[in-house]
Amino acid sequence: MIHLIGVNKYFGNNHVLKDINLHVKPGEKVVVIGPSGSGKSTMIRCINQLEKPDSGDVIVDGINLIKSKAQLKKIRQEAAMVFQQFNLYPHKTVLENLTIAPILVQGKNRDEAEQTGLEFLARVGLKDKAGAYPSQLSGGQQQRVAIARALNMHPKIMLFDEPTSALDPEMIKEVLDVMVDLAHSGITMVCVTHEMGFAREVADHVIFMADGQILETGTPAAFFDNPQNERAKQFLSKIL
């Protein structure tokens, strides 16, 4: 479903992704962890080309995004992203946030987009907030709306870029609950997070990154209980 092959990325002289190879099968849940500045976010943003790699290939759902740029719009609809800062559209109501892209990008009619939108709002427990503006919601609620907004594109892949890092502690759980529920629905997920409990519960693979490299890949049990890489051991000893 997702293949990053030999991906390199520089910010100026800073080599932030070093020969990254990542393969995610359909329906797999992959959790990416690692210290700040390790390139996790940059990597996940390469999948939908919010960052353009300097070399290497990015293949999503069979389409090489480096070679066929014209298909990017299609892939971006299939791979929806949830951001650390939510990035809801503040001038639109919650329901409009969910429907604007399906209507304008996917050409759905308004009724259909609103109907599915309300279903997804119900699924994240916020159906009663359909008419509210994002600024009237708590951080946790905003992030749940952002997840519903992503789902209303009917994506095959969900990309989460540190979805709980900007939240107050008491709001993290409500977002994670939605993500766990989503994980059980069979969608392909790539999630950059510091939530180790979540990683243990839903991940098929945990990927550990540091200094722009993937240093270890394994099942949650193998990785958390018996890490092989020295940097991974150090990292886990500090956070667990």
Q: Is 10 in the site for another protein (CB under 8 A)?
A: no
Residue corresponding to tokens 């907030």: 129
- Binding residue (CB under 8 A) for another protein from 76, 156, 205, 231: 76
CA 103 to chain CA centroid, nearest Å: 22
* Per-residue tokens: 83: 């951001």
Nearer to another protein, 68 or 234 (CB): 68
Enumerate residues 45-74 that contact another protein by CB under 8 A.
Answer: 48, 50, 73-74
Cβ 150 to another protein shortest distance, Å: 8
Other Cβ atoms within 10 Å of 204 Cβ, number: 15
According to DSSP, the β-strands at 79-82 and 55-60 are: unpaired
Cβ 218 to another protein shortest distance, Å: 29
Q: Is 122 in the site for another protein (CB under 8 A)?
A: no
Q: Is 202 in the site for another protein (CB under 8 A)?
A: no
DSSP H stretches of helix in the chain: 40-47, 72-78, 94-104, 110-123, 139-151, 169-183, 196-202, 220-225, 230-239
- Binding residue (CB under 8 A) for another protein from 83, 120, 223, 235: 83
Nearer to another protein, 5 or 166 (CB): 166
Closest CA to 149 of 114, 109, 99, 104: 99
CA max distance for the chain = 54
Nearer to another protein, 189 or 232 (CB): 189
* Per-residue tokens: 76: 């971006």
Enumerate residues 123-162 that contact another protein by CB under 8 A.
Answer: 133, 149, 153
Cβ 216 to another protein shortest distance, Å: 28
- Binding residue (CB under 8 A) for another protein from 24, 43, 80, 214: 80
CA 22 to chain CA centroid, nearest Å: 15
Cα 14 to Cα 110, 211, 214, distances in angstroms: 45, 10, 17
Give the interface with another protein as residue ranges (CB under 8 A): 48, 50, 73-74, 76-77, 80-81, 83, 85, 87-91, 100-101, 104-106, 133, 149, 153
